Amino acid sequence: MSTSLIVLAAGQGTRMNSDRPKVLHELGGVPLFAHALGAGRALEPERVVLVTGHGSAAVAKAARALDPEIEVVVQEEQLGTAHAVAQARDALDGADGDAVVLYGDTPFISGETLGAMQAARATGADIVVLGFEAADPGRYGRLVVEGGQLHRIVEFKDASATERAIALCNSGVVAADSALLFDLIDAVGNDNAAGEYYLTDIVEVARGRGLSAVVVTCDEAETLGINTRAELAAAEAQFQAMKRAEAVANGVTLVAPETVFFAFDTWIGRDALIEPNVVFGPGVTVESGARIRAFSHLEGAHGSRDAVVGPYARLRPGAELAEGAKVGNFVEIKNAEIAPGAKVNHLTYIGDAFVGAE
C-alpha cells in the first residue's frame, strides 16, 4: 500500500514573538518541519505535501532546499486543521493508498510510531489516530474509546467534565485512506466553540457511517509541540539528550556529553572520540577512529578514519579530511581537501584548495 504525507505548517506561531514563521525556527540545526519530514520518510512516501500559510514563500524555499520533490500548497485562511488538510486535495489527486497527517511543529514523532500506525491500518482499521497518556492532560483533546474502538475526539473547549477527566489525549496525527480522508473532511462542520473545522471531527463522521477508528499510542515525549521559545529551548535539550545517548550507544566516546551539540543529520562512526565543547552543524560525517578535539566547530564537512581536528578548529562546508589528516588549533578549512596524512597544524586558513599527502 502506497503512502502520502501531509505536513501542516501554516500557523503563524504568535506565541513565539517572532517575524519568522514558527516552523522555520531551528531544532538541531534545521527547520522544525524537517523533523516531521524525516520521521515520515520511514514510511517511504510516494508523495509529500507541505501545507503552508504564514510566510509561505520562505517556508516553501526552505522545504525545497530539503526536498526538491516536495509539493507545497498554501492555506490562505487559517480555518482549522480539517480545512488545512483539505488544501492538499489537488496535490494528492490520483494518489492511491493512505495519507498520514503530521505537524510541522511536532518534531519528535518517531518513524517506529508511524510504522505502528501503518500496521494498524493494514489490519483493517479505517482511521488510525495517534494518542498518548498525558501526565497532565491540560487542554489537549480527549480520545473517547469504548470497547477498543475510538468513538470520538473531543476538543478541551467542548468537553464535558467527564470527558476532561480522560487522560488519553490526541496528538493530532491521523492515518486513513487518502480518498476517504478528504470525503470525511467534506462532511465536517464548524459548529464548535472556536468556529473552526476540526480534523478531529472526522472520527465521529466515520463512526456515523459504520466505519472503524482505533488508537495507536506512543510516549508523551514524542508528542511535544512547539509553541513558545521556552518550549523550543526545552525541545532542543530533549533532542540533544537523544542524540548524545544514540552516539554513545553506537560506540562513540563523548568525554563530556553535556557539552557536545549535534545537528539533525550528524553521523559519527564507532570508536570516534569527541572532546568537550564541540558543535556539529548540519551535514557532518565523522568516520571511525577520528578524534574531534575541544572547542571545535564543524559544518558541512567530512572527517575520514583516524583524522584529528582541533582543538579550536573550524571546518566549514566542503571541508574534506582524508584518512589520518590532521587539522590543528586555530585552523579554518573551507571547501578544501586535506589529503591522507597531511597536517595543517595551527593558525591557518585554507579555502578552495587541495593539500597533498604527507
Question: What CATH number did the domain enclosing 132 receive?
Answer: 3.90.550.10
Residue 136 lies in a domain: yes
Chosen domain end from 223, 241, 276: 223
Does residue 237 belong to any structural domain of this protein?
Answer: no
What pLDDT is stored for residue 116 in this prediction?
97
Do 279 and 192 have their domain in common?
Answer: no
Residue 29, domain member (yes or no): yes
- For position 42, what pLDDT does the model report? 94
How many C-beta atoms surround the C-beta of residue 235 within 10 A? Answer: 22
Residue 239 lies in a domain: no
Domain boundary residue, one of 223, 258, 287: 223
Domain match, 187 and 272 both: no
Rounded mean pLDDT of 242-268?
Answer: 98
pLDDT tens string 59-85: 999 999 999 999 999 999 999 999 999
Are 212 and 68 members of one domain? yes
Residue 235 belongs to a domain: no
Give the chain's domain count. Answer: 2
Q: Return the pLDDT at 193.
A: 79
| 52 in any annotated domain | yes
* pLDDT above 90: residue 194: no
Is-cis flag, bond preceding 340, omega within 30? Answer: no
State mean pLDDT over 27-56. 97
Torsion from C-alpha of 64, 70, 73, 74, nearest 10 degrees = -30
pLDDT band at 245 (very low <50, low <70, confident <90, very high): very high
Say whether 346 is catalytic.
Answer: yes
Cα(130)–Cα(113) distance, integer angstroms: 8
Distance between CA atoms of residues 93 and 88, nearest Å:
9
Question: Cβ atoms within 10 A of the Cβ of 295, count?
Answer: 16
- Statement to judge: residues 137 and 201 lie in one domain: yes
Strand (E) or helix (H) holding 178: helix 178-186
Mean pLDDT of the region 51-63:
97
pLDDT at 358 exceeding the cut of 80:
no
Q: Are 20 and 140 contained in the same domain? A: yes
The residue annotated as part of the active site, out of 54, 83, 151, 346, is 346
pLDDT at 155 over 90: no
Residue-level pLDDT at 11: 87
Amino acid at 190: N
End-of-domain residue from the set 223, 239, 273 = 223
Q: Do both 219 and 255 map to the same domain?
A: no
Q: With a cut of 90, say whether residue 13 has pLDDT above it.
A: no
Say if residue 190 is in the same domain as residue 290.
no
pTM of the shown model:
0.93
- Is the distance from CB of 104 to CB of 9 less than 8 angstroms? yes
Tens digit of each residue's pLDDT (9 = 90 or more) over 78-131: 999 999 999 999 999 988 899 999 999 999 999 999 999 999 999 999 999 999
Are 165 and 301 members of one domain? no
CB atoms within 10 A of CB 44: 8
| 1 has a pLDDT exceeding 80 | no
Confidence of residue 12 (pLDDT cuts 50, 70, 90): confident
Q: How far apart are CA 357 and CA 165, in angstroms?
A: 69
CB 132 within 8 Å of CB 44? no
Contact 157, 131 (CB under 8 A): no
Q: Is residue 233 part of a domain?
A: no
Does residue 310 share a domain with residue 186? no
CATH of the domain at 322: 2.160.10.10
* Domain carrying residue 273: 250-355
pLDDT above 90 covers a percentage of the chain that reads 94
200 with 259, same domain: the answer is no
Mean of the pLDDT values across residues 211-218? 98
Q: Tell me: pLDDT of 41 over 90.
A: yes
Regarding whether 128 and 41 lie in a shared domain, the answer is yes
Question: Within a domain: residue 130?
Answer: yes
Residues 255 and 148 in one domain: no
